[in-house]
Amino acid sequence: MALPLPVALAIIFIFLTYNIYQWLPYKLPPGPRPLPVVGNLYDIKPVRFRCFWDWSKIYGPIISVWIGSTLNVVVMNWELAKEVLKDNDQSLADRHRNRSTEKFSRGGQDLIWADYGPHYVKVRKVCTLELFTPKRLEALRPIREDEVIAMVESIFNHCTKPENLGQSIKVKDYLSKVSFNNITRLAFGKRFENPDGTLDEQGKELKTIVDNGVKIGGSLSVAEHIQWLRWMFPVDEAAFNRHATRRDNLTRVIMDEHTLARQKSGGAKQHFVDALLTLQQKYDLSDDTIIGLLWDMLQAGMDTTVIATEWGMAELVKNPRVQSKAQEELDRVIGLERVMTEADIPNLPYLQCVAKEALRLHPPTPLMLPHKANANVKIGGYDIPKGSNVHVNVWAIGRDPTIWKDPIEFRPERFLEEDVDMRGHDFRLLPFGAGRRVCPGAQLAIYLVTSMLGHLLHHFHWTPAPGVDPEDIDLAENPGLVTYMRKPIHAVATPRLPSHLYERMPA
């Protein structure tokens, strides 16, 4: 039965008045004027971090953005980032879960989507003390090197075919393979790729589940942001449940395979499945948590390393001076008679600066992952009420002209002149965040990105696709939580080492 118009209007009036009234006691950061119900939802441009940066020029370095009925605070200078990630770290360490992440993480039973509390502290401890230790990362080094060499071999085979000479390749396709194989071998202890480069059955299933997760996650309607409208737009429970069951089934099969292998061999391997299964009792980890953690690694580690390396390559193709300088260093330190290994990285300071400069200008998660306030706090003199989301625009901080000279210029030398930490100790450079939620995979990611860039530069000379001038390479970003290039870089790879150095020796 429809409500009579005056009653409907009265309800709307009471609702709107309540909405305004509840925020009156707070001194909120300034920001664009929100509309009733939808807030600023329709003012936000698709590339959010750029839009927020533009707004900061009008409203200042801390702004309020209403996404539907949820207050989102965005901070855009290093001092405020420090207030968020250091001074008020614990009060701002919860996560906002939408209905999709709520379902997939079983209410935050994993790490990424867990609120700060005893469960989070326990799982984080497993990551710090067990999974991402220097010893384990070192033990997994042969896997990373094998995958990077497999990429080099595959590019070499492609670009030396007579019909492909002088043709460009889509660099991202090759990086994605390294990342997929590397993270799946690290997390699931298996290479899902057949010798001919196709995926085996489990690999296909895994990829379908990853793609399906992205699809279902993106299917949430606008009502996701407007709490009281949600009842009108229920999520497709059946699709969510099917997806979760499929993910769990595949993971359990892989877990069982490893349990059997351990029973036969009597020893555990270094990858995360074996590590977590052998630590299950010690840390009292549920199966849901183990499954959640394994998939967290895929979710957090796969795109991010590809993105960082792709942007690095785009900048190197656009800036031939930097490319030559990095190659001179590689030739001097490694020579032309052997391939680079991760052990060379400490002797390649300029290459390290190239990776850092790529992460400064193009952080793969430009707004990090949103933090949620679990208490009322003050940032920059403004109130941040409990329940608000807080974002640090690390992309904007990386380009702040008050801290970086010629901020838009890709100039790795700036880090030779001043060594700036990028793992959460210096708030001017935060590609991995900082504080208690800082990325636990940062060191692994740095190894992988530096190694991929180093190999690509040592083995090949890179030029833009035929007909494209370096200055015409488009450096615009795709919208999204992670920031791929809007137009993936295409470049011509010309081998520069003897041909026997392009062969992968299967592990």
Provide the annotated binding site for heme: 439
Rank residues 209 and 446 by Cβ distance to ligand HEM and give the closer one: 446
- Report how far residue 386's alpha carbon sits from residue 372's, in angstroms, rounded to the nearest whole number: 8
- The DSSP line for 251-299 is HHHHHHHHHHHHHHHS---SSHHHHHHHHTTTTT--HHHHHHHHHHHHH
Which of 207, 180, 191, 199 lies closest to 448 in space, CA to CA?
180
Among 31, 213, 412, 441, binds ligand HEM (CB under 6 A): 441
Residue 91 backbone phi and psi in degrees, to 5:
-70, -15
Rank residues 136 and 170 by Cβ distance to ligand HEM and give the closer one: 136
Rank residues 390 and 501 by Cβ distance to ligand HEM and give the closer one: 390
We find the least distance from the C-beta atom of residue 73 to ligand HEM, in angstroms, to be: 15
Rank residues 224 and 310 by Cβ distance to ligand HEM and give the closer one: 310
User: Interaction with ligand HEM in 14-33: which residues (CB under 6 A)?
Assistant: none
Among 169, 422, 445, 491, binds ligand HEM (CB under 6 A): 445
Which of 354, 293, 297, 355 lies closest to 325 in space, CA to CA?
354
Which of 366, 359, 446, 452 lies closest to 410 in space, CA to CA?
359
- Determine contact, residues 251/295, Cβ cutoff 8 Å: yes
We find the least distance from the C-beta atom of residue 301 to ligand HEM, in angstroms, to be: 3
Number of chain positions touching ligand HEM (CB under 6 A)? 27
Residues in the chain: 507
We find the least distance from the C-beta atom of residue 109 to ligand HEM, in angstroms, to be: 13
Question: Vertex 132, ends 197 and 438: CA angle to 5°?
Answer: 105
| Helices 171-188 and 272-279: angle between axes, nearest 10 degrees | 30
We find the least distance from the C-beta atom of residue 447 to ligand HEM, in angstroms, to be: 9
Residue 301 within binding range of ligand HEM, rule CB under 6 A: yes
| Bridge partner residues of 493 (DSSP) | 462
Residues annotated in the binding site, as ranges? 439
We find the least distance from the C-beta atom of residue 182 to ligand HEM, in angstroms, to be: 9
Which of 197, 417, 172 lies closest to 303 in space, CA to CA?
172
User: Interaction with ligand HEM in 351-410: which residues (CB under 6 A)?
Assistant: 363-365, 368-369
According to DSSP, the β-strands at 389-392 and 371-372 are: antiparallel
We find the least distance from the C-beta atom of residue 179 to ligand HEM, in angstroms, to be: 8
CA 180 to chain centre: 14
- 262 by Cβ neighbours in 10 Å (0-12 / 13-18 / 19+) ranks as middle
Q: Measured at CB, which residue is nearest to ligand HEM?
A: 441
Select the span of 313-321, 399-407, 443-451, 495-503 touching ligand HEM (CB under 6 A).
443-451
The residue with tokens 């949620």 is 372
Among 61, 108, 203, 440, binds ligand HEM (CB under 6 A): 440
Among 39, 431, 454, 464, binds ligand HEM (CB under 6 A): 431
User: Interaction with ligand HEM in 113-142: which residues (CB under 6 A)?
Assistant: 124
Tokens of 218: 């993106």
Four-residue CA torsion sign, 102, 107, 108, 114: positive
Select the span of 151-159, 162-170, 375-383, 440-448 touching ligand HEM (CB under 6 A).
440-448
Select the span of 7-15, 73-81, 245-253, 432-440 touching ligand HEM (CB under 6 A).
432-440
Contacting residues for 32 by C-beta, under 8 A, at least 6 apart: 40, 43, 55, 59, 63, 65
Select the span of 15-23, 235-243, 438-446, 459-467 touching ligand HEM (CB under 6 A).
438-446
Select the span of 39-47, 57-65, 439-447, 467-475 touching ligand HEM (CB under 6 A).
439-447
Binding mask 78-117 toward ligand HEM (x if CB under 6 A, else -) reads: ---------------------------------xx-----
Q: Which residues bind ligand HEM (CB under 6 A)?
A: 111-112, 124, 183, 296-297, 300-301, 304-305, 308, 363-365, 368-369, 431-433, 437-441, 444-445, 449
